[in-house]
Structure 1
Amino acid sequence: MSSALDLFDLKGKTALVTGASKGIGRAIATGLAEAGADVALLARSTTALEEVAGEVEELGRRALVLTCDVTEGEQIRAAARTVLAEFGGLDVLVNNAGGIGHAGPFLDLEFDDWTRVLRLNLESTVHACQVFGRHMVERGTGSVVNLSSIAGLGGTPMLSHYAVTKAAVVSLTRTLAAEWAPAGVRVNALAPGWVRTDLTSTFFADPRATENLLAAVPSGAFGVPREVVGSAVYLAGDASRGVTGSCLVVDGGTTCFVGGPQMLGFLQHGRIPA
C-alpha cells in the first residue's frame, strides 16, 4: 500500500526551472531533485548553473544546464528542443525567472522600466508556457508552477510595474488552468512574500526600511528561499493532483493581516489597550 508521502515522490519525473542559478529558483531546483526529479536548469549564468547542476548530481539526479535569456523567445524554443531531446519529455515546468529593476513612485518610473520588467516577468512566462504547454497538452499530463508574488495580490506602492506583472501571472495561471484541465495539465501559481535573496537585497540594505517591512509580517521573520520549496514540490507532483488554477501564498501571514503595524505591535505584547 502506498503512503501519503509517496504523493510527494517525483522519481521518474523530469522538471525544468527558469532562473535556476540563484535564490528561490536554485532552492526549488535542488528541492525537486531531492524529491527525485531530473532537472533542467535554465538561466543566463553558465557558471552559476554548473554549480547548481553539481548539487543536483550529488543528490543522484540528472542535471541539464541550459544557458538562456528568457526574454528571448527563440532562445526558450531552442532550450525546449534540447530538453525534450535529452529528457524525452517534460513533466514539470517552473517559471521562476523574474526581477524588479528600478523601484520608485509610479510617476518617477520610465516606460523602459516597465518594458524591461514586463519582458522578464511576464513575456518569459508566456514563451515558456506556449512551448512546454503545447508539449504537455499533447502528452495529456504535466504540471506548470508559475512564480507570482504577494505584490501581485494587492496595491504595492513603489513597485507598480513589478506588481502588475505578478498580477498578470496569476491571471494567466488561472486562464491556462481552465483551458488545459481537460487535457490533464495542471497550472498553479506560487506567491512568496518578502524573501531574502539577491533580488531583494537592496530593500534590506536600509535598516529603517527593513524594520518597516518586517512590521507587516505577522510571523515576525522574512522568508528564505528554502521555505518555498515544499510548496513547489507539492504543486509539482501527485500530492496536488486535484489542484489547478490556485495561487498558493507563502508569506508568513502578510496578506492575511489587515490591522497594520501598530495592531501587530499590540498582538505581540499580548493585549490591546482599552
Structure 2
Amino acid sequence: MDVDLRKLRYFVAVAERLHFGRAAEALHIAQPVLSRQIRALETELHAQLFLRDRRATELTPAGEQLLVDARPLLASADALRRRVSRAARGPDSFTVGFMPGLIVTAAVRAMASRHPQLTVEVFRTDWHDSVAAIHDGRVDVSYVRMPVDPRGLQLRPLLSEPRVVLLPVDHRLAGRESVAIAELADEHLLQDPDAVPEWRDLATELRTGRRPPLPAMKTVEEKLEHVAAGRGVAVLPLSTATFYTRRDLVHLEVDDLPPNQVCLAWDSSRRSPLIHEFAALAVDHDPVGATPQAGAVHR
C-alpha cells in the first residue's frame, strides 16, 4: 500500500492540535474536507486514528504510533523536494521570496549587480506558504512576516510596522482614525485567531463557541473580497493594507496591537555565502521604505 503524503500532513496537523477546526484553518481547507481525508486515511490503514466526541479529540494508540512515524517520513520527503528543486534551478541562480506589500527590488538589484553571472529571481509567496517555499527549496531566502514556525530556519529581523484592521467602507467604525482591539471583540476575524492572540483573548465568538468556519482563502486578494462583502474583518500590516488600495475598504490603526515584524528567513542547514551576502543587503535596503529596526536581535 502506498501512503499518501498529503493525507499524512493532514493527519499530523490534526494530531498536533487535537482539534479539526484549528487544523483546517492552518491547512487552509474546509473542515468537512479534512474530516473526509482523515476517514480515507483510516480506511487505507485499517485503523482508527482519533477518538472524537463533542468535547474533545484524542489520539488512539494507532494514531500515536502514526504520529511518531509520520514526522520523520514527512521531513525526509521535504528534504528530497528541496534537493531536487535546488538542483533544477542550477548553481547560477538565486531566488528571493517576498510577500504582498514588501518591495524587494533594491536588494535584488544590488545582488544582481554584485554577481553579473548570477540569475537573481523573485518568487511571490503568501501567508500560507512563505515558510514552506524555503523548506521545499523553491526559494533561497524569503521575506516573512512574524510569527512563523522557526524550526529549521535562520531569521534576521529587518523592521517592524503597525498593524491595521481592514473594514468595509460602510462599517460602523469606518469613520474612525484608530480603534482599540476590545472594540473588535464582536467581529468575525477572517484569519487564524492565533495570528491575532490579543483579539482571540477577547473574541465573543470564541467565548460563546459560535465561531463559523473560515472560507477557503489562499491569497490576500481573496481575504479582502470577503471583508468587502461584509463577512468579517482582517488584521494586516500597514504596508499590505496600503498595497491593496480599494474604494470599498478602509483601514484603521489598532492602538493596542504590537507591530508586525518583518524578517529575512532561510534554511538554517545551508551555508551558502550568497545567502549571508543577501541578508546583509536586505538590512541595508528596506522593503517598505521605513527605517530598519534598531537593535534587532538575530535568532
TM tier, smaller: under 0.3
The answer to which structure has the higher strand fraction is 2
Q: Structure 1 length normalisation: TM-score?
A: 0.25
Larger Rg: 2
Q: Structure 2 length normalisation: TM-score?
A: 0.23
